[in-house]
Amino acid sequence: MKWIDWFEEISGTARVIIFTLCCTGVFASSTWLTVALNGDGRESGDDRHLTFADLAAQFFLPGWNRLRPHLDVALTGRRAEFEAAGGAIDTRGAGWSVGGGVLYYLSRSFALDATLLRTAGELDRFADGERVKGVGAIDVSETRFLIGVRSYPWR
C-alpha cells in the first residue's frame, strides 16, 4: 500500500476540515455558502473570563419544511483570563472549529439557530499585553453548544 506522506503530517483537526469540505463538495449542487461572524463569552462569579470569536464558513444542506441544517468550518480566536495563586493569568490563541447545526424558521425572516462546534488549538500566555517568551503553548480543545437567533429583514 502506498502512503501519502504529506497527508500523514496533517493534524487531526485539519483532516476533519478537509473531510467536511469534501463532503460538502458532494452536495455542491444543493448547498449554499454563507460567511458568519460569531462572538460569545462567559464570566463566572470567581472572576474567570472566557471569550470566543468565530469567522465561519457555513454550508447549508437541503432542508425539510422549517429546518435547514448546516456544516460549519471556522477560524476561532480564544481568550481566557483568571486569577491563580501566582496572580492573574491571561491566555490567548486561535484554532480551527468544525461542527454543524440547524436553523428552525419561525417565519420567513426569523430563525432559531442551534450549533455544536468543536475547537482545537493552542493558547499562549500573555503578561502586560505581551506574549511571555520561553513558556510553551497549552494545547486546548473545547466543545461549545450555541443557541441564537437569526433575522433576515430583507426577506
The string of pLDDT tens digits covering residues 132-154 is: 888 888 888 889 999 999 888 88
Identify the burial level of 77 via C-beta atoms within 10 angstroms of its C-beta, where 0-12 means exposed, 13-18 middle and 19 or more buried.
middle
Domain annotation for the chain: domains and CATH numbers: 5-151 (2.40.160.20)
**What's the pLDDT band for 91 if we cut at 50, 70, 90?**
confident
Give the model's pLDDT for residue 26. Answer: 54
Tell me the residue ranges of DSSP E strands in 44-109. 49-60, 67-84, 87-107
CA contacts within 13 A on the Cβ side of 5: 0
pLDDT greater at residue 103 or residue 23: 103
